[in-house]
Amino acid sequence: MNEREVRVDPGPFALGPVHAQAAVLCLHGLTGTPYEVRPLAEAFAEAGMRAVGPALPGHVATPEALAAVDSWERWADAARGAARDLAKRHNKVFAAGLSMGGLLSLLLASERLVDALVVVGVPLRLSPPIPWIVPVAKRFIPFLGKDGGSDIQDDAARERHPSYDRMPLHAVHELTKLQRVVRGRLRQIEAPILVAHGALDRTADREDAARIHASVASRERECLVLPASGHVVPVDRDGADLARAAAAFLARHVRPLR
């Protein structure tokens, strides 16, 4: 794709056939936007699935709006509500999540709200001493600047990537709570799962992909390492490869028409 063909739209989306047999809930990361999972959604839509990407509470607004989100449960409730809404209109509901969106996808799978899932760049823990410092530091330093932009290897993709330039520490604290809940529920996940991770990811530990793959109870589980990408793989150098693999994986679980 050349530069003139890249459309940067940070807003929510709904792509693909309205009456598709299967729908995919596409969930973005902390301080991100639906734009960062849209390439996956486009591949799902091309494969005949409905793909919906909401903006999670506090996102596609301002850093202050994200800082005002009182609990990680607000992100979880938004994801649950979207999944249940899709289940009213489609025979199968899948999830595809990046980073925090991947944590939410795992949470939905542990609650049996999705039939299969793809997770990308999921951080099960933040590097020490962040989890210990943040609960206190947030009282004195509400925001930290995000130097260097998003964790994307492709320079042009990083330059155009829409994301907050500041990270609310309250939101980071809530993320650590969500991580703890998800770590405790991995054994409850039985849905087919594809776990993907950028080999050059500086945000989430690559070993977390192996931990997820090893910990879930899913009979069908695959792990995919994208060699040339950082954290935000869908818009990075391996984005097209990831999109093809994710669409092919979920398409295998679409209930055929009779």
pLDDT value, residue 175: 98
pLDDT bin (cut points 50, 70, 90) of residue 3 is: very low
Residue 257 pLDDT > 80, yes or no? no
Taking residues 9-35, report their average pLDDT: 97
pLDDT value, residue 73: 98
Q: Average pLDDT, whole number, for the chain?
A: 95
Q: Is the peptide bond before 34 cis (omega within 30 degrees of 0)?
A: no
Cα–Cα distances in angstroms (integers) from residue 47 to residues 27, 146, 186, in the given order: 19, 36, 29
Taking residues 102-107, report their average pLDDT: 98
pLDDT bin (cut points 50, 70, 90) of residue 2 is: very low
Taking residues 222-237, report their average pLDDT: 98
Strand intervals (E) in 64-120: 92-98, 116-120
pLDDT value, residue 258: 42
- Lowest-confidence pick of 64-68, 147-151, 153-157: 147-151
Residue 1 pLDDT > 80, yes or no? no
Query: What percent of the chain has a predicted confidence (pLDDT) above 90?
Result: 92
Class of domain 3-251: alpha beta
Where along the chain do its domains lie?
A: 3-251
CB-based burial of residue 123 (10 Å sphere; 0-12 exposed, 13-18 middle, 19+ buried)?
buried
pLDDT value, residue 255: 67
Left (φ > 0), alpha (ψ -120 to 50) or beta: where does 8 sit?
Answer: beta
Taking residues 237-257, report their average pLDDT: 92
Residues ≥6 apart with Cβ < 8 Å to 112: 191
**pTM for this one?**
0.96
pLDDT bin (cut points 50, 70, 90) of residue 26 is: very high
Measured distance CA(140)–CA(133) in Å, rounded: 11
Taking residues 89-102, report their average pLDDT: 98
Tokens representing residue 99 in the block = 């980073």
pLDDT value, residue 183: 98
Tally the residues of the chain: 258
Tokens representing residue 216 in the block = 């879930």
User: Does residue 196 sit in helix, strand or coil?
Assistant: strand
Give me the helices (H) in 3-62, please. Answer: 38-46
